[in-house]
Amino acid sequence: MFIDLAKKKTCSVEEIFVHSSNVGSIKMIRDIGQDMQKEYLSRLGLFNSVNINIPEKAVPIVPEPWRMVNTESISYGYGLSISPLHLAIATSSVINGGYLIDPTIIKTSSETAYIKKVFSDRTSEVMRYLLSRVVDEGTAKDAFGKNADRAYTIDEKFKYIVGGKTGTARKINNKTYVNEKMTTFISAFPIHKPKYLILISLDDPKGINGEYGSPYNTWNWTDAGWNAARVSRQIIDRISPILDTKSKYLPGDNILINTSLE
């Protein structure tokens, strides 16, 4: 628990994650420590290029030297540069029961190849729950909620069993932060038994004048929950019937996983 002075409230670990509190993330990583952070980033393969059957492979940019300020900034998504494929693999490992996968772009008849166990089943279960809460009550709520386009059927019976995490970062030009953003939303569905993962990244998205009020204040409408998450939802709307994943469910059906966090 910690006190968020901006909101004047005590925040739990769940609230820190669901509402993307940078301050809370820093306080958590100070408790966890730099060594454990680096150990799990390494276990997830975030320090090396991905072993995949294409010639162009991105190499992560890792801080050197690695100071405490790097540990803290990495805790909320800054300070470590990785490729979208790195992020997709790491996220799949978090939600698939804790197994690091061996990715391929070649369709095969065999099951997914697992490299090693990174997280426990229990940790993976809790993370699926937290990702579902981001969509249900957190930073992606407006993208998937009742007032979002096509988020519900005509009779408003359905909600989503999608989990995801928003990410919004200011861009750098000549070693200085500028008023441009990179927004990301990574989602998985159906979240209680993940089968598909979608990663959307937008470079410098623009707010639409007048759409959400003042035509002169669109900066706040360029966060990931307003654009990358909405793009993800629109994709899921279109492909889930084709894939027959049943990404929507009747409210009242206890389809989300049962964890002690509920």
Between these two residues, 101 and 147, which has the higher pLDDT value? Answer: 101
pLDDT confidence bin for 149, thresholds 50/70/90: very low
233-247: average pLDDT = 79
Render pLDDT for 34-64 as a digit per residue (tens, 0 to 9): 999 999 999 999 999 998 888 888 899 999 9
The percentage of the chain sitting over the pLDDT mark of 90, rounded to a whole number, equals 47
Render pLDDT for 155-186 as a digit per residue (tens, 0 to 9): 444 566 889 999 999 888 888 888 889 999 99
Q: What angle (nearest 5°) sits at the alpha carbon of residue 138, between those of residues 134 and 139?
A: 95
Q: In the chain, what are the helix, strand and coil shares in percent, each to the nearest 5?
A: 35, 20, 45
104-123: average pLDDT = 83
- Whether the Cβ atoms of residue 28 and residue 1 lie closer than 8 Å to each other: no
For residue 187, pLDDT over 90 is answered with: yes
Render pLDDT for 71-101 as a digit per residue (tens, 0 to 9): 999 999 999 999 999 999 999 999 999 999 9
**Residue 241, SS3?**
helix
Same fold, 33-69+79-119 and 122-262: no
Render pLDDT for 9-21 as a digit per residue (tens, 0 to 9): 678 899 999 999 9
User: pTM here?
Assistant: 0.84
For residue 259, pLDDT over 70 is answered with: no
The answer to whether the bond into 65 is cis (omega within 30° of 0) is yes
Tell me what pLDDT residue 211 has.
Answer: 54
Identify the CATH number of the domain defined by range 122-262: 3.30.450
User: What are the CA-CA distances from residue 115 to residues 85, 103, 204 (Å)?
Assistant: 16, 10, 36
Domain limits, the chain:
33-69+79-119, 122-262
Q: Is the dihedral of CA 74, 80, 82, 86 positive or negative?
A: negative
Tell me what pLDDT residue 3 has.
Answer: 52
pLDDT confidence bin for 260, thresholds 50/70/90: very low
Domain 33-69+79-119 has what CATH class?
Answer: alpha beta
For residue 261, pLDDT over 50 is answered with: no
* Contact residues for 135 (Cβ-Cβ < 8 A; gap 6+): 141, 143, 144, 160, 162, 163, 164, 187, 191
Tell me what pLDDT residue 108 has.
Answer: 73
